[in-house]
């Protein structure tokens, strides 16, 4: 059986962890390796890009991409997890809100902001996810981190329901954003629904449900669901190499910058691709510490 390599866009259902979803996809495609490009909480649904086999070598490049979400905030109550799965910890009256008041509050969250990761998150402390500490009654407070909110707008509002659309940088916790926004509005709030609609250039509209993947499996059409590595990394700058250099890469030899022709400025620690004459990925490389030789991130033989 030919090995499948690349990315599958999964429409992850609610009440399924990202790791469980990845393992199901791995089994469907009979893959040796699989990994996702950014965790979705179990209560959340939507786009989860899953990399299989050699595709796992590009996870690091895809994780850095911006994300887009739609979320529903339930105003008037806050939970310990900041979402609907937690226990209510605070309640408060909801003031008379208008579109203008909501817009003025949202303005304060657009751009570069500081955000504290929630206690119930997969972020690790001493190698252990924060949610494991929290479940044992130990709350680990992490330092605020800078994130970017590129877009934050109202989709729908009716008294205690505020539906929002968000475009943000990696590492943004929409649960924290929902809670902070509710407090800025003069009340409490928690996230009731969350859907990831975009991740980098990937769109939920092109994603497959698990049921659809199983149907493709039954019809021997799984190859139709795979985005190849070349297409998935087309956002990276590229240098096409000759046969001699291709062989040198295969043999693990050092490649001197002077031996390749580039139509762009090679910047320190910025990854780019080496493509063969047949437009196949040969390696991901970067210049490190202003060295004359390229450092290999990944090689494809």
**Which residues belong to the active site?**
41
CA end-to-end distance (rounded Å), the chain: 18
Please give the Cα distance from 8 to 28 (Å, whole number): 11
Q: Which residue has the tokens 């190698």?
A: 127
Pair 225, 119: CB distance under 8 Å: no
Cβ-contact 277, 238 below 8 angstroms:
no
**In the 8-state DSSP scheme, what is residue 184?**
H
Give the up-direction half-sphere exposure of residue 32: CA atoms within 13 A in the CB hemisphere: 8
Contact 179, 189 (CB under 8 A): yes
Q: Which residues pair with 45 in a beta bridge?
A: 195
Cα(208)–Cα(44) distance, rounded to whole angstroms? 16
Distance CA 22, CA 78 (A): 31
Q: Is 114 exposed, middle or buried (0-12, 13-18, 19+ CB in 10 A)?
A: exposed
User: Count of CB atoms within 10 A of residue 107's CB?
Assistant: 11
Angle, CA 265 vertex, CA 264 and CA 270 arms, to 5°: 105
- Among 178, 176, 185, smallest CA distance to 164 is for 178
- Cβ contacts of 222 within 8 Å, gap of 6 or more: 4, 28, 29, 213, 216
């Amino acid at each position: 059986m030919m090995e499948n390599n690349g990315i599958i866009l999964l429409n992850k259902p609610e009440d399924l962890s990202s790791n469980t979803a990845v393992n199901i996809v791995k089994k469907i495609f009979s893959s040796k390796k699989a990994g996702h490009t950014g965790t979705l909480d179990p209560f959340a649904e939507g786009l989860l890009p899953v990399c299989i086999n050699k595709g796992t070598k590009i996870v690091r490049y895809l994780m850095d991409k911006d994300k887009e979400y739609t979320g529903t905030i339930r105003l008037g109550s806050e939970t310990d997890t900041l979402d609907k799965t937690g226990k209510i910890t605070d309640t408060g009256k909801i003031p008379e809100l208008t579109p203008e008041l909501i817009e003025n509050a949202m303005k304060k969250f657009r751009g570069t902001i500081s955000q504290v990761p929630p206690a119930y998150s997969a972020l690790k402390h001493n190698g252990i996810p924060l949610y494991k500490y929290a479940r044992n009654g130990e709350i680990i407070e992490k330092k605020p981190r800078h994130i970017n909110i590129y877009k934050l707008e109202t989709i729908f509002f009716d008294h205690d329901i505020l539906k929002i659309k968000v475009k943000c940088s990696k590492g943004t916790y929409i649960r924290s954003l929902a809670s902070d926004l509710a407090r800025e509005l003069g009340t409490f709030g928690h996230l009731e629904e969350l859907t990831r609609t975009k991740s980098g250039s990937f769109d939920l509209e092109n994603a497959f449900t698990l049921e659809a993947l199983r149907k493709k499996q039954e019809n021997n059409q799984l190859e139709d669901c795979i985005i190849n590595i070349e297409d998935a990394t087309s956002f990276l700058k590229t240098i096409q190499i000759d046969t001699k250099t291709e062989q040198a890469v295969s043999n693990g030899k050092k490649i001197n910058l002077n031996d390749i022709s580039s139509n762009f400025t090679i910047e320190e620690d910025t990854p780019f691709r080496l493509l063969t004459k047949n437009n196949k990925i040969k390696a991901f490389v970067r210049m490190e510490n202003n060295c004359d030789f390229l450092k290999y991130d990944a090689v494809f033989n």
